[in-house]
Structure 1
Amino acid sequence: MPYVSRVTAYTHLTPHDLQPPGEPEVFFEPADTETGVWVATDLLPPGGGGTVLDLGSGSGAAAAAMARAGAARVHGIDSGEQTLRYAHTRYASSPGDGRVTFARGDFALMSAAQLLATAPGPLPRPLVVTSNPAYVPLPPDAGRARPSISGGADGLKWAGPIAGHARALGADLGLTLGSYSTPRRAVAVCTEAGYRIAAVTLCPLPLGDFTRRHPERVLALEEAGEAVLWRRGPDPLAYFIVGLACRRAEGGGRPAGAEELMDLLHSAARSTTTRLENLDAPGETPCPWPVRVLDLPRASARHHW
């Protein structure tokens, strides 16, 4: 294994961010949000600067945290009316500042130029495109019941448009998904768009209540070897949030990716504690990237709609 770092507390989200929104259509999953911010920090220039374009920006907590972490600008785009109202009220910068802004739009239906046009003014380079999209593989009927978490049959419904926008904008790419969201295919999507993995963040998390009640697709993907669940930890059934910080690939050759990530996830799944101690075990398959483990306190609430 390469150097494995561990974080044992929320670093980017504040107590203000960890308060449940109390709005029926505002997604709240602190571990996912914290992971996505770490991914962005892996891609931002050292010392700060640049812009994050956050697709599916949700509550806005991630956007505000990315600005605190050093981004010169963060612009979030989300399709939910209630979500945008909440993000504007709680997290948008004052008009005179403008570091954190939000706009309504369905990024899957927009061109890269249309995305940029939603921002109030030009976005400073370098540009990073990030997203923590809905990624749970659910059958169609279950997916319609929980749009905030449904990622289609393989969990990657949104990954193609996200990677395509990053490529069109000449941006680096941060993508957060689940270890049951066909991670091998997720890496292939990024590779096909011209990206290589630069760093990985892992955070163990129990399956949500709705996913536990509708596990058909998740279990089928696990049986097919396309998903990794964590069955040896303190929870009966859990998974890993997987944060992929991806750089634009330079030169030829095959970027390290799909099989290396699957080996990493299977190694993590042999652990028995939330520190994912097996990543330090001798004899494990070497991993080509730095790995960060988020061993976070259990959130007081999770809200999916």
Structure 2
Amino acid sequence: MPNVSRVLSYAHLTGTDLVPPSCPQVFFEPADTEIGVWVAQDLFTEGCSVLDLGSGSGAAAAAMARAGAARVHGVDSGAETVAWASEHYASRNGDGRVTVARGDFARMTTGELLATAPAPLPRPLVVTSNPPYVPLTPQADVRRRSISGGPDGLKWAPAIIGHGRALRSDLGLTIGSYSTPRKAVQLLEAAGYRVHAVTLCPLPLGEFTLANMEQVLALEEAGEAVLWRPGDGVPAYFIVGLACRWTGPGTATAHDRLSGDGLLGLLRIAARSRTSRLEALDGPRPDGWRGPLRVLDLPAAAVRHHW
């Protein structure tokens, strides 16, 4: 039987985390944040620490610490975001379990990133990131920094994967089902990663994406993106959380890997579902992959901060 588990409520975010920040330039998308914590937890080992790239409001970092990480250090380029995270989520009891710093991970070396932490991060170290991943035309891309993922939705992925590879650390990466998922797995495999577990969460397309669908529809037509159209409602996509183990280049075999084609096939199966529990995934999976698969069926947020 397929190894599918379902989560029907927020397990990691608290009631406070589900209240929209008062600052509109602090990213707020609870489903994205929740899925990022699940992905990180899939990679936790005893005593591990986390380097969270593009750490946003800090809610995910705090939740990762509650979920078992010994230390979590977030790095984000937004002044408002870092100020909010420092005030609301950074540790204040002197233990330093949750820390945040301002920096642009896409421009910094891995050593520079590590140096932003107030104290060395203990190993084993997990690298996580929930970066902007919406595929947009160049004209639309410059107008929504918090969601802009470039033409293929993977603008930030090479830098994230590069830092993980440099550290030889396990990696948690969140993308969208429209963010060229086949290419995402190919990038991960080329860097020495194997997908260990997948978490999916359906989410309606945001207003800006709906008004700027050209790139998403082009990728869908080319067979490189998957949208979910369950009925007469707003089209949706799947948030895709990839928990990846560092194995080194060339070590994964056909029997223990989820290929790029396999992930795309998995998403196409999910898109056949009629309900947000993605019941179509209870059948056979493509390419025989038997890794853990989780579905989050979460209440939609009334407010979403995208800027």
Out of 208, 219, 222, the position equivalent to 2:220 is 222
* Alpha-carbon distance in structure 1 between the residues aligned to 2:41 and 2:13: 13
* Offset of residue 141 of structure 1: 1.5
- Root-mean-square deviation (Å): 1.3
Out of 269, 275, 278, the position equivalent to 2:277 is 275
Deviations 1:217-242 (A, max 9, x none): 00000000000000125733100000
> Do the aligned residues in 2 keep the contact of 1:233 with 1:274 (CA within 8 Å)?
no
Residue 221 to residue 276, structure 1, CA distance change in 2 (3 Å): same
Out of 194, 198, 201, the position equivalent to 1:200 is 198
Q: Which residue identity lines up with residue 120 of structure 1 in the other structure? A: P
Tell me, what secondary structure is at the counterpart of 1:17? helix
> Do the aligned residues in 2 keep the contact of 1:92 with 1:101 (CA within 8 Å)?
yes
* Offset of residue 287 of structure 1: 3.3
Equivalenced residue count is 302
Deviations 1:198-249 (A, max 9, x none): 0000000000010000000000000000000001257331000000000012
* Alpha-carbon distance in structure 2 between the residues aligned to 1:7 and 1:220: 32
* Alpha-carbon distance in structure 2 between the residues aligned to 1:95 and 1:141: 45
Alignment of 1:119-138 (within 5 A): 119-138=117-136
Residue 252 to residue 262, structure 1, CA distance change in 2 (3 Å): closer
Q: Which residue identity lines up with residue 155 of structure 1 in the other structure? A: G
Tell me, what secondary structure is at the counterpart of 1:261? helix
Out of 170, 175, 178, the position equivalent to 2:176 is 178
* Aligned position for 1:12: 12
Out of 203, 206, 209, the position equivalent to 2:207 is 209
Runs of 5+ unmatched residues, structure 2? none
Alignment of 1:250-289 (within 5 A): 251=251, 253=253, 255-281=257-283, 283-285=284-286, 286-289=288-291
Answer with 244-253 or 183-192: which moved more. Answer: 244-253
Runs of 4 or more above 6 Å deviation: none
Residue 264 to residue 120, structure 1, CA distance change in 2 (3 Å): same
* Offset of residue 58 of structure 1: 0.4
Alignment of 1:1-305 (within 5 A): 2-45=2-45, 48-94=46-92, 96-232=94-230, 235-249=233-247, 251=251, 253=253, 255-281=257-283, 283-285=284-286, 286-305=288-307
Percent of pairs with identical residues: 67
* Offset of residue 256 of structure 1: 2.9
Tell me, what secondary structure is at the counterpart of 2:199? strand
Residue 98 to residue 284, structure 1, CA distance change in 2 (3 Å): closer
Could you state the TM-score of these two structures normalised by the residue count of structure 2? 0.95
Residue 16 to residue 195, structure 1, CA distance change in 2 (3 Å): same
* Offset of residue 105 of structure 1: 0.4
Tell me, what secondary structure is at the counterpart of 1:304? coil
